[in-house]
Structure 1
Amino acid sequence: MTATIRPAEKSDVPGLAALIEEIERFYGTPEAGIQPLDERLAQVEEALFGSPPLAAALVVEDEAGVIAGLAAYSFLWPSAGSSHSLFLKELYVRESLRRQGIGVRLMEEVRAIGRARAGCTRVEWTTDRFNADARSFYRSLGFEEYDGKVFYRDDTGSF
C-alpha cells in the first residue's frame, strides 16, 4: 500500500481528531475517558493552527486519502546549553500500514526537520515500557534506551 507523508494542513483536522481517538483506544483509555469529538476537533485545530501553534505534525495519508498515521512534535528550549531539541510527542501508524517502512520514513522526516532547524541539537522521545513493539522498532533503527531521565506527569487538573 502506498502512503504519503506530508505536513499537516488545516483540512486534516477531522482526520487527525479521529486518529487521536484511535490512539487513545490503543493506549487503553476507557470509553468514559475518550474526549468528545467536538472538543477534540477544537483542540487539534488550536494545537496545530492556533496563534502561536503549540505543536506541528506530519501526517501519513493512505491511498484513499485517509489520515492513517502521524508524527507530532514540538521544539523545546533549552536543550544542551542554550540550544533546543525537537521533542517527538507521538509517532503512530495505523495497524493496517505497519511493517511497511512508514514508521521508518516518519522517523527520517522528523530527524530531517530537526537537522534543518538552526540550533536544534537533538531529537528526543519517549515510549511506554509496555509497548514492546515500539521499543523493538526504535532498537531496529539503532537507538538505545536512555536511562538518564525519570518522567513525571501531573494530570490531576489541579495545576
Structure 2
Amino acid sequence: MTISVAPATLDDAEDLAALMEELDTYYQAPPVEELAVRVAQIQRLLFGPTPVASVLLARDGARLVGMASYSYLWPAAGVTHSLFLKELYVSAAARRRGVGRVLMEHLRTVAEERGCSRVEWTTDQENTEAQTFYDALGAHVHDGKVFYRTQIPSS
C-alpha cells in the first residue's frame, strides 16, 4: 500500500461524501441525506465563501482510504492557537496499514507550519480501538476538561 496525503479539493467532494457515509455506518448513524445532498453540503461547507473546516485525504493510488477533518481553535495556551482534529477516519479495508499514522503525521506538520501550540482531539469513551491507536502514537489523555454539547434545532 502506497499512501499519499493531500488537502481535499472541490473535485474530491463526491469521494469524500461516500467516505462520510461509510463513517456514519461505522458510528451506526441512520442515513440522513442522499449522496447528491451530501456532495452539495461538502462543497458549500468546505469550499464555499466561509469554509468551516479543512480536510486531509489519504489515498492508496486513486482510491480514497482515509480522511482527517480539522479546524483551528483560539485561544489555546495563552493567545496561541491549536489545531483541533474533529474526525479521523480510515476505511475498514485500509485499517492497520499505517493510514491513520500517516494522516496524524501530516496533521502535526500542518499544525507546526501554521504555528499552532498543540494538536487536540477527542474520541468516544467506548472506542477503545482508537484509544489504543492514539496511545501508540504517544498521545496522552487530558482529563482536565468536561465536554458539553447543546443541539441547534433544524430549520
Q: Which runs of 5+ in 2 are unaligned?
A: none
- 1:6 and 2:19 equivalent? no
- Structure 1 residue 158, shift from structure 2 partner: 6.8
What TM-score comes out, normalization by structure 2 length? Answer: 0.93
| Matched ranges for 1:1-159 at <5 A | 1-31=1-31, 34-63=32-61, 65-118=62-115, 120-157=116-153
Q: Give the distance between the partners of 1:121 and 1:46, measured in 2 at CA.
A: 29
Q: Could you say if the C-alpha distance between residues 97 and 158 of structure 1 is closer, same or farther in structure 2, counting changes exceeding 3 Å?
A: closer
Aligned residue-pair number = 155
Q: Kindly provide the CA deviation profile for residues 21-70 of structure 1, in whole angstroms up to 9, marking residues without a partner as x.
A: 11011011124xx222222111111221111211111101123x122210
Identity %: 48
Q: Could you say if the C-alpha distance between residues 20 and 158 of structure 1 is closer, same or farther in structure 2, counting changes exceeding 3 Å?
A: closer
**Partner SS for 2:144:** coil
- Structure 1 residue 156, shift from structure 2 partner: 4.8
Q: Give the distance between the partners of 1:114 and 1:128, measured in 2 at CA.
A: 23
What TM-score comes out, normalization by structure 1 length? Answer: 0.91
Q: Kindly provide the CA deviation profile for residues 68-117 of structure 1, in whole angstroms up to 9, marking residues without a partner as x.
A: 21011001111111111100001011111111111111101001100111
